[in-house]
Amino acid sequence: MLNFRNTNIVFILLLIGLISYDIYSGVPFYVYIIIAIVYSLLLFWGSYYVGSDFYFKIICSANTSEKQIAISFDDGPVNEFTPQILKLLHDYKVPAAFFCIGKRIKENEKLLKEVHEAGHIIGNHSYSHDVWFDLFSADKMYEDLQMMDEAMGKAIGLRPKLFRPPYGVTNPNLKKAVNKGNYISVGWNIRSLDTVITDEQKLLAKVTKALKPGAVVLFHDTGKAIPAILPAFIQHARDKGFEIVRLDKLLKLEPYV
């Protein structure tokens, strides 16, 4: 299994063997450079591919043949777009998961309550979602996640069990913070890229062609693209025989502590 621990073991043994061979026979310096590059590329892949399980387990889909999927929204709540999405979900009778940023809850507590009262689940997406979050120490990461829990607890009286890494990036420090907080990490296996793709038809085509049983779809409730394509996405999924269920039901997880 390719993970951080096994990768380190293999490369340490390889390096020991290489140094031993180098003492007696000589090894070109560029060989060490190649090994360092390969090691760095593996760490990069493990950090930036949310489904790699490189540092710790992240549940990105359900292992099922049933035509069920779940949709999730990151980075809210925001007054400009979250209410539009809530109305569409209500109109189409679709449950969802919202992985929220804690610092946005303080000014949007009423909106978070609406998300909860509408029957959707809410997860932890960090408090700060800081651009340098991945460089935080383990203690600082844990403190950040706890601040999100507290903001959510104050707003709706519940603390989240499910956690989604900011930017989908993982590392050893985040593993320590997640373990300390006893969170269940949840990712996705269909990434809409709705923060990058501006063409609504291309965005819709990207997510619809990727649908498969057990899929977890990642959207964001922070831009105008998703309210624009959400009805067509829901209708397409249903036309293809998919049932859209709540994330915790699909993955058989408890959403709250």
Q: pLDDT of 55-73, one tens digit each?
A: 999 999 999 999 999 999 9
For helices 172-181 and 138-156, angle between their N-to-C axes, nearest 10 degrees: 40
**Average of per-residue pLDDT across 105-120:** 96
Note whether 163 and 80 are same-domain residues: yes
Note whether 174 and 101 are same-domain residues: yes
Percent above pLDDT 90 for the chain: 97
CA-CA distance, 17 to 24, in Å (whole number)? 11
Note whether 125 and 39 are same-domain residues: no
- Judged against a pLDDT cut of 90, whether residue 198 lies above it is answered with no
Residue 240 lies in a domain: yes
Peptide bond into 77 cis (omega under 30): yes
**Average of per-residue pLDDT across 231-255:** 98
Residue 161 lies in a domain: yes
Note whether 158 and 111 are same-domain residues: yes
> pTM (2 decimals)?
0.94
Note whether 119 and 237 are same-domain residues: yes
Find out whether 215 and 61 touch, Cβ atoms under 8 Å. yes
Residue 16 lies in a domain: yes
Note whether 32 and 151 are same-domain residues: no
Q: Domain range holding 20?
A: 4-48
How open is the CA angle 130-135-137, to the nearest 5 degrees?
A: 105
Residue 53 lies in a domain: no
Q: Give the domain CATH number at 191.
A: 3.20.20.370
Q: Name the domain count of the chain.
A: 2
Note whether 233 and 178 are same-domain residues: yes
- Judged against a pLDDT cut of 90, whether residue 93 lies above it is answered with yes
Q: Express each pLDDT in 209-229 by its tens digit.
A: 999 999 999 999 999 999 999
**Average of per-residue pLDDT across 44-60:** 97
**Average of per-residue pLDDT across 114-134:** 97
Residue 94 lies in a domain: yes
Note whether 21 and 75 are same-domain residues: no
Note whether 38 and 106 are same-domain residues: no
CA-CA distance, 218 to 178, in Å (whole number)? 21
196: DSSP letter: T
CA-CA distance, 11 to 6, in Å (whole number)? 9
Find out whether 162 and 97 touch, Cβ atoms under 8 Å. yes
pLDDT score at 24: 86
Phi-psi region of 73 (alpha: psi -120 to 50; beta: other; left: phi over 0): beta
Whole-number mean pLDDT of the chain?
Answer: 97
Find out whether 165 and 174 touch, Cβ atoms under 8 Å. yes
Note whether 26 and 84 are same-domain residues: no
Residue 257 lies in a domain: no
